[in-house]
Chains A and B, each alone.
Chain A
C-alpha cells in the first residue's frame, strides 16, 4: 500500500472507532447508567448490590443496621469470600470480627460464598 493509503486506513479506523463509541453512548452510557441508578435508589444499597452480584441475604444487613448500634462489633463465621465482603462494607462503621475471636451470645452473621444469614436474632 502507498503511504497515502496507509494514512487513509488509520484515519478510517479512527473515524470507525469514534462512530462505534458514539453509537453506544445513548444506550449504554446514558440509559443503562440511569436505570442502574434508579434501581439502586429504589431498592437501597444492600438489595441492589446483592441482586447485582446474585447473592442472597441482603435482609440480614438491613436487620443488623436496624437492630444494632453503629459502634458495635458484629460477630461472623463462615466463608471469608463472597457475600461477607459486602457485609463488611455495608455495615461500616460496625466492624466484623470472627466469632471464634469474640465473646458474646448475641446475633451472629453466618456467611457462605453466595449468602448471608443471622443466627440468634
Chain B
C-alpha cells in the first residue's frame, strides 16, 4: 500500500471536516442556522481537495519491497477489528463518562435539534450551560450527521482509523519498507489509551482523542510536505478544543525556528483564520451574542502579518537560527501583554481567563514543578497507559543521533519538545487546589493529545542500519 493510497482518503476526510467546521463556525458567528446541506457540500469539497491535490502532486512510486499481501490483509483485519470494537462502544450507549455525557453529548443534542446559537441554551444567561465557551466543532459535526439520520457517534472510530492511517502513511513515506510501515501502524493501533474503555478513549465521547487525530494529521502533512493536510489539521485542532490554539501556536514557533518558508506561510494563514474564528466564537458564547468578532479578527490578521513580514525580513538579511530565536524572544513581549489582558478579564475571560485570573499563582506554584515533571514521566512511561508510545521516539531519536543517520521532519521533534513545558502550564495556572487530583484527571489527556505526533515522527525516521532495512525490504531500488 502506497503513501498516496492512505493520504488521499485521509485528505478527503480531513478536508470535509475542516470545510464543515470552518463554514459552520462562520454560520454560528453570523447568528444564523447552519444549513443541513453544508454536510454533503463539505464532503464533496473534501473529495475535490483530495483529487485536486493528487493531480497536482504525482505520487512517487513506492520504494523498497512491497508488503506481502497476507501481512497487509492481517493488518487491515486487525485494525478493522479494533475499529469495530470502538464503533460498538460508541454506538451501544451515549457517552458513559463525565465530560462526554455532561458537555459533549449535551451540546450535540442541543445543536442537533437546532444548529444555531439563537436559542436559550446559549443565549439565556440564567440557563445552566457547562463550559459555555468551549469550541463547537465536534458537537456541530455530530449534530449535522444526526440531522441526516446518520449514526453520529461513528465519528469516533472514524477518527481512530484516520489516526492509524496517518501513522502508516508517515512510515510508508519515509521510504522504509511496507512491512515496517505496517509494523508501525499496528503498534500504534493497539496503544492502550486509544482503546481504553474509560474516559479519554476514542469512544468515550471526549474531544481529546479526536484532537490527537487532528494533530497527527498536521504531523503527517509536515513529514510528507502535504500542505493541505497541515492547514486542515491545524484548523481542526484549533476548533476542536481550547488546547488546540496553544498547540498550533507551538507548531508555528517550531516552523519559525526552522525557517521553512512555505510551511510557515500555510501554517500562519491556518492559525490566523481558525484562531480568529475560534476566539470570536468563544467571545460570542461568553457574552451571550453581544461581543463583536471584529477585535479578534483584527488581532489575528495583525499577528499573521507581523509573523510573515518578520520572516521575510529575516530571510532577506540571511538571518540564521540565532536571529530567529532573538526575534521569537522579542515576540514574547506582546504574548506577555496578552496574558496580562486575560488575567484582567478573570472569569469573564472564559476558560482562558479562569486560568490566568491570578497572575501571581504560577509563581507561587513554581515549587511544584518537580512533582508535575515526575507525574508526567510516570504517566508517559510507567503506567502502561501509553505502552511504549513515548519510548519509541526517544529510541529512534537516540539511534539517529548516535549513528548519524540523519533526522527527518525536525519541526515535529521541536514541536514535541515544546509541548513539554506547555503541559505544565495548566497545573501552574488552574484555580484547582488539589494538584494530585488535577494531575490524575488532566495529565493523561494532555499526553494523549501528542501520541499521534510522537508516532508519526518516529515512523517518519529512517532506520540507521542498511542491512536491517534490506532484511525488512526497505532498500531503495537503483534507478
| Residues in A lying within 8 Å of B, measured CB to CB | 1-4, 6-11, 13-18, 20-22, 24-25, 28-30, 32-33, 36-37, 40-41, 45, 48-49, 52-53, 73, 76, 80, 84-86, 88-90, 92-93, 95-98, 101-102
Return the CB mask of B89-127 against A: 1 if under 8 Å, else 0. 100111011100111011001100100000011001011
B109–A52 touching, CB < 8 Å: no
A10–B395 touching, CB < 8 Å: yes
Pick from A25, A80, A101: contact of B126, CB below 8 A: A101
Instruction: List residues of chain A with CB within 8 A of the CB of B396.
Output: 10
Instruction: List residues of chain A with CB within 8 A of the CB of B464.
Output: 3, 6-7
Instruction: List residues of chain B with CB within 8 A of the CB of A84.
Output: 128
B127–A95 touching, CB < 8 Å: yes
Least Cβ distance of A60 to chain B in Å? Answer: 15
Q: Return the chain A residue nearest B189 by Cβ.
A: A21
Q: In whole angstroms, what is the CA distance A93 to B403 when docked?
A: 62
Asked, given contacts A9-B399, A22-B190, A92-B106, whether A40 binds B465 with beta carbons under 8 Å apart, the answer is: no
A28–B399 touching, CB < 8 Å: no
Q: In whole angstroms, what is the CA distance A11 to B459 when docked?
A: 11
A21–B190 touching, CB < 8 Å: yes
A28–B195 touching, CB < 8 Å: yes
Contacts between chains A and B (CB distance < 8 A), count: 162
Q: In whole angstroms, what is the CA distance A36 to B403 when docked?
A: 48
Q: Most chain-A CB neighbours within 10 Å: which of B82, B97, B126, B128?
A: B128
Least Cβ distance of A42 to chain B in Å? Answer: 11
Q: Return the chain B residue nearest A31 by Cβ.
A: B197
Q: In whole angstroms, what is the CA distance A53 to B98 when docked?
A: 7
Least Cβ distance of B158 to chain A in Å? Answer: 18
A17–B388 touching, CB < 8 Å: yes
| Residues in B lying within 8 Å of A, measured CB to CB | 82, 85, 88-89, 92-94, 96-98, 101-103, 105-106, 109-110, 113, 120-121, 124, 126-130, 183-184, 186-187, 189-192, 195-197, 203, 384, 387-389, 391-392, 395-396, 398-399, 402-403, 405, 463-469
Q: 8 shortest A-B CB distances, which residue pairs?
A: A21-B190, A6-B399, A7-B465, A101-B126, A96-B128, A33-B197, A17-B388, A85-B102
A98–B384 touching, CB < 8 Å: no
Instruction: List residues of chain B with CB within 8 A of the CB of A101.
Output: 126
A25–B463 touching, CB < 8 Å: no
B465–A29 touching, CB < 8 Å: no
Q: Return the chain B residue nearest A96 by Cβ.
A: B128
Q: In whole angstroms, what is the CA distance A11 to B468 when docked?
A: 10
Instruction: List residues of chain B with CB within 8 A of the CB of A90.
Output: 101
Known: A45-B94, A45-B101. 5 other contacts (CB 8 A): A8-B465, A15-B183, A17-B387, A21-B190, A98-B128
A14–B102 touching, CB < 8 Å: no
Q: In whole angstroms, what is the CA distance A88 to B107 when docked?
A: 11
Q: Return the chain B residue nearest A89 by Cβ.
A: B106
Q: In whole angstroms, what is the CA distance A88 to B127 when docked?
A: 9
Pick from A14, A80, A92: contact of B187, CB below 8 A: A14
Least Cβ distance of B112 to chain A in Å? Answer: 11
A92–B195 touching, CB < 8 Å: no
Instruction: List residues of chain A with CB within 8 A of the CB of B186.
Output: 18
B109–A21 touching, CB < 8 Å: no
Instruction: List residues of chain B with CB within 8 A of the CB of A40.
Output: 92-93, 96
Least Cβ distance of A39 to chain B in Å? Answer: 9
B399–A10 touching, CB < 8 Å: yes
Q: In whole angstroms, what is the CA distance A52 to B95 when docked?
A: 12
Instruction: List residues of chain B with CB within 8 A of the CB of A14.
Output: 183-184, 187, 388, 392
Asked, given contacts A14-B187, A95-B120, whether A88 binds B130 with beta carbons under 8 Å apart, the answer is: yes
A96–B127 touching, CB < 8 Å: yes
B197–A36 touching, CB < 8 Å: yes
Identify 12 residue pairs between A and B in the complex whose beta-carbon atoms are under 8 Å apart, listed by A's number.
A4-B468, A7-B468, A10-B399, A18-B183, A20-B387, A21-B387, A33-B197, A40-B96, A76-B128, A95-B121, A96-B128, A97-B127
Least Cβ distance of A23 to chain B in Å? Answer: 9
A89–B101 touching, CB < 8 Å: yes
Instruction: List residues of chain A with CB within 8 A of the CB of B463.
Output: 7, 10
Instruction: List residues of chain A with CB within 8 A of the CB of B120.
Output: 95
Instruction: List residues of chain B with CB within 8 A of the CB of A8.
Output: 465, 468
Instruction: List residues of chain A with CB within 8 A of the CB of B94.
Output: 45
Q: In whole angstroms, what is the CA distance A76 to B129 when docked?
A: 13
B197–A97 touching, CB < 8 Å: no
Pick from B96, B102, B196, B467: contact of A89, CB below 8 A: B102
Instruction: List residues of chain A with CB within 8 A of the CB of B89.
Output: 33, 37
A29–B93 touching, CB < 8 Å: no
Instruction: List residues of chain A with CB within 8 A of the CB of B106.
Output: 88-89, 92
A21–B195 touching, CB < 8 Å: yes
Q: Return the chain B residue nearest A29 by Cβ.
A: B195
